[in-house]
């Protein structure tokens, strides 16, 4: 039986900036781009990230690009999933955390 976990959240970033930070955020996992998604396939588990552009966030004169980030994990244990997500979020924090 395959364990599948989905997560989704909005981020203030551009696609280009997201792609620049992603290698460190996923701990060096090798991934490919497939039909607009970012996909990692290991021997017994994998993940997929879909990026959906959202309307810019505007606060007074400041305008920030936004993406909806959708993650799908297959066959990760709960502890491994939590470590992955901690690392992932750490590399995308703004303003010192």
Q: What pLDDT sits at residue 14?
A: 95
Per-residue confidence in pLDDT tens, the chain, 97 aa: 468 999 999 999 999 999 999 999 999 999 999 998 999 998 899 999 999 999 999 999 999 999 999 999 999 999 999 999 999 999 988 765 4
Angle between helices 78-92 and 15-25 (to 10 degrees): 130
Torsion sign over Cα 17, 70, 36, 80:
positive
Q: What pLDDT sits at residue 2?
A: 62
CATH class of 4-92: alpha beta
Q: 28 near 46, Cβ under 8 Å?
A: no
Count other C-beta atoms under 10 Å from residue 92's C-beta.
17
Q: What pLDDT sits at residue 95?
A: 62
Q: What pLDDT sits at residue 43?
A: 84
Q: 69 near 8, Cβ under 8 Å?
A: yes
């Amino acid at each position: 039986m395959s364990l599948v976990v989905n997560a989704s959240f909005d981020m203030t970033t551009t696609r280009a900036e997201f792609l620049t930070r992603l290698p460190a955020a996923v701990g060096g996992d090798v991934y490919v781009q497939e039909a607009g998604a970012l996909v990692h396939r290991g021997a017994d588990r994998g993940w997929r990230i879909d990026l959906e552009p959202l309307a810019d966030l505007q606060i007074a004169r400041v305008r920030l690009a936004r993406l909806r980030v959708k993650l799908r994990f297959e066959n990760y244990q709960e502890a491994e999933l939590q470590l992955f997500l901690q690392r992932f979020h750490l590399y995308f924090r703004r303003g010192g955390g």
